[in-house]
Chains A and B, each alone.
Chain A
Amino acid sequence: QSVLTQPPSVSAAPGQKVTISCSGSSSDIGNNYVSWYQHLPGTAPKLLIYDNNKRPSGIPDRFSGSKSGTSATLGITGLQTGDEADYYCGIWDSDLRGVFGGGTKLTVL
């Protein structure tokens, strides 16, 4: 059981918007930056968002991140069937100890 709580699954239709939450506490999300990863089965996870809301080069602006207090949110707009994947939030504390959320399976209906 991860200390970062994500909904097990979310779904939406193509073209719609979806948000995925990541809930923690003052000792994890509250005091550290959040990153988000997309994981398609059989492939390497991909960094989508770092430092709460920054996108690496090559990640489309359909993906966005935000953080408020002890929770973070990943938003995906203009959903595509290729976005079907598992999504994970993650944090690293000042001792470089990391933790991932439990993961959320996105289904594009």
Chain B
Amino acid sequence: EVQLVQSGAEVKKSGESLKISCKGSGYTFTSYWIGWVRQMPGKGLEWMGIIFPSDSDTTYSPSFQGQVTISADRSISTAYLQWSSLKASDTAIYSCARLYCTRTSCYFDYWGQGTLVTVSS
């Protein structure tokens, strides 16, 4: 059974750093892209970026380029999303998801449970 299990909720202060995780199991972790999605309070889903754990090839949404870093450790089947200096506006639920791609299409087929990040000013 494919599972993506994310790290627990975080409460941080503005300016602090943070790294949240997403551990995959039940499939070959290095064979699929993993993506991150943000949902701010009362807002919709926003695609942040993806990483291919086999070689750490990464693609970011222009909205998030330079704001976060996506990484992966294939030895422990885990992807990460990190901030070097959090802002109050980073308060959101962050979800990871597996990107299933064929030759012609891609879609998120499995999702993590989400990690709530709360940043106080």
Contacts and interface: CB of A to CB of B under 8 A. Distances in A.
- The answer to whether A and B belong to the same complex is yes
Contact of B109 (A47, A96, A97, A101): A47
A17 to B, nearest CB: 24
A30 B35 CA distance: 23
Interface stretch (A19-27, A31-39, A68-76, A77-85): A31-39
Q: Which of B33, B59, B111 has the most CB of A within 10 A?
A: B111
A37 B44 CA distance: 12
B107 A45 contact: no
B105 A32 contact: yes
Contact of B105 (A47, A50, A86, A88): A50
Interface residues of A, number: 27
B105 A97 contact: no
A92 B111 contact: no
Contacts, number: 76
Q: Give the secondary structure class of B's interface.
A: strand
A98 B106 contact: yes
Interface centre among A32, A35, A56, A101, by most B CB within 10 Å?
Answer: A35
B104 interface: yes
B54 to A, nearest CB: 14
B95 interface: yes
A35 B109 CA distance: 10
A98 B50 contact: yes
Given A44-B114, A86-B44, A103-B45, A96 B59 contact: yes
Interface of A: 2, 32-33, 35, 37, 39, 43-47, 50-51, 56, 86, 88, 90, 92, 95-103
